[in-house]
């Protein structure tokens, strides 16, 4: 099986994928000085543009929320992809054929059937053509039943077009003939899952059904969900695309392409149960709604949601000096019937995969978002989501409904039923809080409830230990190639922007990263003590480790910044990105070289001034009469430094 993408192929993708073109698909960019663009950040709400892109170095950074990176990290964040997925997506766009290595041996590995050059693009193209075909059929003479189904649920033509809803004709090979007419082979169509293989040949998988295109986070169609319309159809009520190289139901969330930006901005995702519920929610203003496709919400879905929420505590992203971290809110909407409550209890098992608050919104009358919109209007759907309750609370209180709390026996039974649920809460503070709430809901003494919760925790712990499961080893995957991560990422204090020394040092690093071709040789002659501010000292160390500005002149642009980033510590790499994108006051192309020289000269002057102060301090501590020789040497050193600073200033 293929392992890690070869490093040189990742570099080729990073080099060929123009960051301004990729970002422009999501952000309106305007010129912001020489070689710089800016726009409104897609990752947080803002009115004044603070999102900057510098194509020359292949980096982006938002000075409002602090997010930043290269073209690969932008695709990861905007589309909720893992590192490998993002590289593969960009490789398809820019025409780089990826090669893989065995992650254990480093030896080259074959791409395997799913990696056959061009095959993925052919299958995606087949799905795109199929989606267009189905959408056209919906408004044809044979699709009356499909249009009636939508109309009965208060969806009009514009709604259907917005979500790409289509109709699969009743014929056995309508889509098959259409796709073959567009040049697709039978082997490609079988691999796509759009057709099925029978004893008499291949035929359309979806026939006489209303069809929803299922897209990945990039908006590419990877499968379909189809709803039965006719009584003579003996198939399941909902039929989805089978498992293919494109479509993995455990990873797919319907509506993710439409919801991803709102999820990233609002830090909330609403999980509903069906395609029409997603439509109803979005049309009601709940634009963060998504749904699973033919399967229960599981761990792989949780990973997708976590990436979109920007949940850094789950993956150990950089912790800000302020202590802030990205979080989010997951709201499950379930029918109010017994099946819906069971679904919520199943979701309880997934809850602690999230480092965010998880809630449940259940309509008391049992209506789903689609029914609710029809009966009471869009505002009722929004109110349903706003009425959410914490998932822990919902599951615990649901368990209490089985008991008569007016009797001693009922209260004891309720306690024994709910205590293991409370004991399963890993956050100690939340566990204690819910123990107090449980005591109040049942009507028992708090200490009695705590003892039962402790007993349940002890029993659960013994059961887990008795299983003696081996420790799970990390598996090769995205994290192996993506940015370094780990729990408890280091914290790096940011310099005071009002500090004049910090400003000079920062601007010197900005020009060295952005314009190494104009940096004087004197910069690389500076020692490790040239920078006094710890953050900028750390960035300077990474620059020196990467070979200094001389190497930057050779590498140029994005390759230079990437080289510095690789030499930077985990907490320092984001600073490298920020500095490589930071605006430069000089906005005249012809004056950039002189500006860079002036900035570096100011930094050198600052260092000389610091050395002069140190030399004077040493002189003051010496006794001229008792230590004449040492005093004379220190005095000559002071004069030499002052002469050096004078020459520097005269050359300005």
User: Please, which residues have CB within 8 angstroms of residue 620's CB and are 6 or more apart in sequence?
Assistant: none
The DSSP call for residue 64 is: T
Per-residue tokens: 490: 């280091």
pLDDT at 577: 92
Euclidean distance between CA atoms 579 and 61, whole angstroms:
9
Domain closes at, from 110, 131, 157: 110
Q: Are residues 291 and 202 in the same domain?
A: no
**Same domain for 544 and 611?**
yes
Q: Are residues 92 and 142 in the same domain?
A: no
CA distance 506 to 599: 10
The CATH number assigned to the domain holding 342 equals 3.40.1360.10
Compute the distance between CA of residue 540 and CA of residue 508 in angstroms, rounded to an integer.
10
253: three-class secondary structure by DSSP? strand
Assess whether 521 and 634 both reside in one domain. Answer: yes
Q: How far apart are CA 175 and CA 211, in angstroms?
A: 13
Is residue 256 located within the same domain as residue 232? no
Please state the three-class secondary structure of 481-508 as a single string. HCCCCCCCCCCCCCCCCCCHHHHHHHHH
Q: What is the pLDDT of residue 88?
A: 87
Q: Is residue 394 part of a domain?
A: no
Rg of the Cα atoms in the chain: 31
Asked whether residue 493 is domain-assigned, the answer is no
Q: Are residues 254 and 381 in the same domain?
A: yes
Question: Nearest CA to 523 among 547, 500, 501?
Answer: 547
Last residue of a domain, one of 194, 215, 240: 240
With 0-12 / 13-18 / 19 or more C-beta atoms within 10 angstroms meaning exposed / middle / buried, residue 343 is buried
Q: Is residue 316 part of a domain?
A: yes
90 in a structural domain: yes
Task: Note whether 347 and 220 are same-domain residues.
Answer: no
Q: Which residue has the tokens 């379909």?
A: 224
pLDDT of 485 reads 37
**Backbone dihedral angles phi then psi of residue 168, each to the nearest 5 degrees:** -95, 120
Distances in Å between the Cα of 116 and the Cα atoms of 1, 5, 8, 48 are 13, 14, 19, 45
Q: Specify the pLDDT at position 433.
A: 93
Are 225 and 252 in the same domain?
Answer: no
CATH code, 211: 3.90.980.10
Do residues 524 and 620 both lie within one domain?
Answer: yes
pTM of the full predicted structure? Answer: 0.62
CA dist., res. 625 & res. 572, Å (int): 49
The single-letter DSSP state of residue 386 is H
CATH of the domain at 88: 3.90.580.10
613 and 509 housed in the same domain: yes
Domain residues for 537?
A: 500-651
- Which token pair is 216? 């990945």
- On whether the CB atoms of residues 262 and 242 are closer than 8 A, the answer is no
- pLDDT of 194: 96
pLDDT value at residue 496: 75
Q: How many domains does the chain have?
A: 5
481 assigned to some structural domain? no
Q: Token match 């009469």: residue?
A: 625
The DSSP output letter for 521 is G
Give me the pLDDT at residue 301, please: 82
pLDDT average per 10 residues of sequence, the chain (652 residues): 77 91 87 87 84 92 90 86 85 86 52 53 93 96 96 96 96 95 94 90 95 92 96 92 90 92 88 94 96 83 76 37 52 70 61 66 87 95 92 88 90 92 85 94 93 86 51 39 41 71 87 89 81 87 90 86 89 90 80 84 74 74 74 76 70 66
Do 55 and 136 have their domain in common?
A: no
Q: What is the per-residue pLDDT for 336?
A: 57
Mind listing the pLDDT tens digit for each residue in 397-427? Answer: 888 988 999 999 999 999 999 999 898 888 8
Residue 232 and residue 351 in one domain: no
Q: How far apart are CA 358 and CA 13, in angstroms?
A: 37
Q: Is 469 inside a domain boundary?
A: no
């Amino acid at each position: 099986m293929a392992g890690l993408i070869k490093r040189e192929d990742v570099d080729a993708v990073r080099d060929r994928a123009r960051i301004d073109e990729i970002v422009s698909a999501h952000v309106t960019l305007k010129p912001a000085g020489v070689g710089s663009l800016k726009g409104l950040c897609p990752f947080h709400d803002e009115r004044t543009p603070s999102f900057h892109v510098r194509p020359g170095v292949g980096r982006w950074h938002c000075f409002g929320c602090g997010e930043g990176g290269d073209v690969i990290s932008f695709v990861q964040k905007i589309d909720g992809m893992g590192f490998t997925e993002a590289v593969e997506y960009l490789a398809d766009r820019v025409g780089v054929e990826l090669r893989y290595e065995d992650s254990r041996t480093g030896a080259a590995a074959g791409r395997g059937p799913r990696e056959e050059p061009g095959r993925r693009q052919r299958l995606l193209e087949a799905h795109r053509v199929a989606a267009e075909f189905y959408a056209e059929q919906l408004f044809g003479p044979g699709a009356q039943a499909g249009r009636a189904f939508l109309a009965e649920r208060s969806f009009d033509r514009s709604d259907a077009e917005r979500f790409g809803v289509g109709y699969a004709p009743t014929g056995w090979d309508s889509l098959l003939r259409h796709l073959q007419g567009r040049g697709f082979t039978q082997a490609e169509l079988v691999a796509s899952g759009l057709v099925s293989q029978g004893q008499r040949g291949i035929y359309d998988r979806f026939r006489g059904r209303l069809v929803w295109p299922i897209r990945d986070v990039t908006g590419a169609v990877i499968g379909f969900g189809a709803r039965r319309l006719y009584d003579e159809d003996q198939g399941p009520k909902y039929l989805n695309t089978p498992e293919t190289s494109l479509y993995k139901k455990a990873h797919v969330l319907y509506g993710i392409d439409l919801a991803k930006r709102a999820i990233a901005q609002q830090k909330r995702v609403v999980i509903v149960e069906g395609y029409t519920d997603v439509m109803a929610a979005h049309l009601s203003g709940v634009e963060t709604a998504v749904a699973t496709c033919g399967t229960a919400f599981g761990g792989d879905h949780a990973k997708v949601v976590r990436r979109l929420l920007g949940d850094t505590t789950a993956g150990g992203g950089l912790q800000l000096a302020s202590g802030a971290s990205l979080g989010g809110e997951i709201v499950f909407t379930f029918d109010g019937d017994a099946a819906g409550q069971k679904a919520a209890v199943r979701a309880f098992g997934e809850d602690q995969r999230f480092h965010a608050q998880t809630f449940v919104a259940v309509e008391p009358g049992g209506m789903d978002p689609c029914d609710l919109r029809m009966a009471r209007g869009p505002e009722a759907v929004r109110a349903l989501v706003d009425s959410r309750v914490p998932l822990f609370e919902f599951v615990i209180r649901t368990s209490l409904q089985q008991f008569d709390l007016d009797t001693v026996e009922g209260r004891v039974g309720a306690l024994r039923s709910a205590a293991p649920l409370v004991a399963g809460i890993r956050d100690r503070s939340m566990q204690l809080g819910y123990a107090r709430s449980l005591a109040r809901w049942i009507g028992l003494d708090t200490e009695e409830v705590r003892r039962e919760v402790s007993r349940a925790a002890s029993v659960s712990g013994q059961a887990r230990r008795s299983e003696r499961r081996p420790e799970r080893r990390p598996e090769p995957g995205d994290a192996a190639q993506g940015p370094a991560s780990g729990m408890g990422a280091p914290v790096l204090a940011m310099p005071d922007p009002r500090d004049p020394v910090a400003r000079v040092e920062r601007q010197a690093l900005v020009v060295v990263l952005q314009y190494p071709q104009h940096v004087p040789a004197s910069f690389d002659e500076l020692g490790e003590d040239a920078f006094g501010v710890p953050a900028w000292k750390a960035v300077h160390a990474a620059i020196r480790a990467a070979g200094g500005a001389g190497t930057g002149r050779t590498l140029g642009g994005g390759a230079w910044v990437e080289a510095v980033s690789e030499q930077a510590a985990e907490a320092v790499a984001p600073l490298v990105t920020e500095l490589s994108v930071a605006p430069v006051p000089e906005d005249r192309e012809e004056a950039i070289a002189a500006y860079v020289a002036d900035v570096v000269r100011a930094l050198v002057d600052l260092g000389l001034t610091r050395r002069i102060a140190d030399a004077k301090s040493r002189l003051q501590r010496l006794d001229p009469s008792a230590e004449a020789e040492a005093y004379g040497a220190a005095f000559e050193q002071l004069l030499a430094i002052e002469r050096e600073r004078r020459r520097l200033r005269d050359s300005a």
